[in-house]
Amino acid sequence: MVSRKLLRDYLNNYKDKQVAVVGAGISNTPLIELLLSANIETTVRDKRSHDELGKTADRFISQGAKLKLGDAYLNDLHEDVIFRTPGLMPTNPALREAVARGAVLTSEMEAFFEVCPCKIIGITGSDGKTTTTSIIGELLKNDGKTTHVGGNIGTPMLSKADDMQPDDIVVLELSSFQLITMRKSPDIAVVTNLSPNHLDVHRDMIEYIEAKSNIFMHQKKTDRAVFNLDNEITKDYAWQAPADEVLFFSKMEKVENGVYLKNGTIYESIGDEREAIMQAGDIILPGVHNVENYLAAFAAVMGIVSHETMRKTARSFQGVEHRIELVRELRGVKYYNDSIASSPSRAIAGLKAFTSPENIRKAKNERRRIVLIAGGKDKGVTFDELGTEIIERVKTLVLTGVASQQIHDAVVNAQNSDKSKRNDMLEILQCEDFENAVQTASKNATDGDIVLLSPACTSFDQFNNFEERGNKFKDIVNSL
């Protein structure tokens, strides 16, 4: 098989090399097992202890791996080839010293791009990339294509390359941490949007933008790049794209080549010709941001997936877990899990999914219906815009986590700076822990309200990841 030959040849390059895999998490565990099965000398380096890794560490040892664990896991980084985990930046001093000595620095994702035998569609952005990735996967699958969906969405792909055929299509969510060292780009690149994000890890916004640009900067002229025309940063990406086929999507204006929304109808446009695909109101996922996600997805698969499949998918796809996920309705109160909202911009999108300023203002005494649970560990970005949206759209704000005071201050500042939008009915409640926050939100919600977990922060002050936070929210809500 073509894919097996590519993977075998790739692994053969490392037969006489010493290889280090830094980080034994979700993306690297299948890589480690693949290297060991090919009898490649492999050292697993992880900041966790043997006890913390537990049976995983024992399994690696039984398969022939060497282990370098604990606080000193990056000491004496002497191996010839280093596979880094996405969360470890290439600017790390130990990695930089190793590269200066001649080591090759790579990653599981970069290796996959070397061996993948079929077309790759890659999606990145500050917000919406997981849902857009999932929508594209559904569109292709529903159109009869053999499709593999993975990447940053939670499924590593390198170990699955053996099962792929040349006519298959791979759909990958790609984070800035994966892209920062990439020197190959997918056949179809999609950038949903860009706004300040992960500035607690990236040196600055410039580095973040440049990392994201690798999704299209290494494309061929025959490839396709899809950009958000409504976002200033992604709009400016277009002139840099080496691909001849550059498509846009927009919910605000007509585009010459791509997909756009006008008067509630989604259109596909090629030059002077346009064709209606569907009514945006038929999309069952709530929120304008999900209409944008569909615009991006439709542009990615223009000419690949039929309009009929686009319509059927939009009317049936119920979304991805932890993304404005309806958990239950209890005594007239609906509980939504939007734990993925780890940035202010994502939380704003969650709020806008349920409210609009026009609906809020249409009746002078109309009460805001959202009880918002927010807080966690911040990403080094401002909460000012979120503060403005909260006073516009939220009835009760329940805060928890290390960044709760920052969000509180942003809301108070917004209240004081714009008297015309001031919300004197807004109540702000501080809670010591997450469970207390959910219980407090429930006690302050009445018939017709929405309790929305949309934290605007990462989960790392109280949880290992956003999935754990979302599952905890669902457990608490289901026990009410």
The model carries a pTM of 0.78
pLDDT of residue 172: 97
Average pLDDT estimate for 416-424: 79
Q: What is the mean pLDDT of residues 240-253?
A: 96
DSSP state letters, 307-344: HHHHHHHHTT----TTSSEEEEEETTEEEEE-TT--SH
Residue in the block written with tokens 């900041």: 47
pLDDT at 366: 43
Q: What is the mean pLDDT of residues 287-296?
A: 92
What confidence score (pLDDT) does residue 368 get?
A: 64
133 in the same domain as 94: no
Has residue 349 got a pLDDT over 60? yes
CATH code for position 195: 3.40.1190.10
Tokens of 256: 């010459």
In the chain, what is the straight-line distance between the N-terminal and C-terminal CA atoms, in Å?
54
102 and 116 part of one domain: no
Distances (CA, A) of 235 to 175, 197, 271: 19, 18, 18
Residue 470 contacts residue 453 (beta carbons within 8 Å): yes
- Residue keyed to tokens 């899990």: 337
CATH number of the domain enclosing 455: 3.90.190.20
Q: Does some domain include residue 7?
A: no
Mean local confidence (pLDDT), 438-451? 95
Is residue 8 situated within a structural domain? no
**Which of 54, 87, 106 is a domain's end point?**
106
- Whether residues 212 and 83 share a domain: the answer is no
pLDDT tens by residue, 104-115: 999 999 999 999
Mean of the per-residue pLDDT values for the chain? 91
pLDDT value for 64: 96
Predicted pLDDT at 190? 98
Q: Which residues touch 102 (CB under 8 Å, ≥6 apart)? A: 80
pLDDT at 359: 44
- Residue 217 sits in the same domain as residue 84: no
pLDDT at 357: 46
Q: What is the pLDDT of residue 354?
A: 82
34: domain CATH number? 3.40.50.720
Contact predicate 153/173, CB 8 Å: yes
Torsion sign over Cα 427, 432, 437, 443:
negative
Instruction: Decide which of 120 and 271 is more confident.
Output: 120
Whether 385 maps to a domain, the answer reads yes
Q: Looking at the structure, do residues 398 and 451 belong to the same domain, yes or no?
A: yes
Residue 152 pLDDT:
86
Q: Assess whether 239 and 377 both reside in one domain.
A: no
Does residue 4 lie within any of the structural domains?
no
Alpha helices in 238-373 (DSSP H): 288-300, 307-314, 344-352, 357-361
Mean pLDDT of the region 324-351 = 91
Check residue 365 and give its pLDDT: 37
Q: Which of 106, 127, 145 represents a domain boundary (last residue)?
A: 106
Number of separate domains in the chain: 3
User: Is residue 153 scored above 90 in pLDDT?
Assistant: no
* Residue-level pLDDT at 356: 54
Give residue 198's pLDDT.
57
pLDDT at position 197, please?
A: 58
The Cα–Cα gap between 169 and 159 comes to 16
Least confident span in 27-36, 121-130, 195-204, 329-338: 195-204
Rounded mean pLDDT, 66-94: 94
**Do 273 and 232 lie in a common domain?**
yes
Range 454-460 average pLDDT: 94
CA of residue 326 relative to chain centroid, distance: 19
Same domain, 185 and 158: yes
Pick the last residue of a domain from 273, 289, 314.
314
377 occurs within a structural domain: yes
Give 421's pLDDT tier (boundaries 50, 70, 90).
confident
> Tokens at residue 12, please?
């053969």
Say if residue 331 is in the same domain as residue 409.
yes
Give the pLDDT mean for 273-279: 95
Statement to judge: residues 50 and 161 lie in one domain: no
CA distance 429 to 409: 13
Please indicate, yes or no, whether residues 119 and 101 belong to a single structural domain of this protein: no
Whether residue 452 contacts residue 323, with contact meaning beta carbons closer than 8 Å, is answered with no
- The answer to whether residues 351 and 243 belong to one domain is no
Domain that holds residue 250: 110-314
Would you state the pLDDT for residue 362? 41
**Does residue 371 belong to any structural domain of this protein?**
yes
Q: What is the mean pLDDT of residues 202-206?
A: 72
Quick one: which H or E segment has residue 124?
strand 119-124
- Name the phi and psi angles at 364, rounded to 5: -55, -35
Q: Are 268 and 261 contacting, i.e. CB atoms less than 8 angstroms apart?
A: no
Taking alpha carbons only, the member of 404, 427, 424, 407 closest to residue 415 is 424
**Is 5 among the domain residues?**
no
What mean pLDDT do residues 198-209 have? 72
Whether 354 is in a domain gets the answer: yes
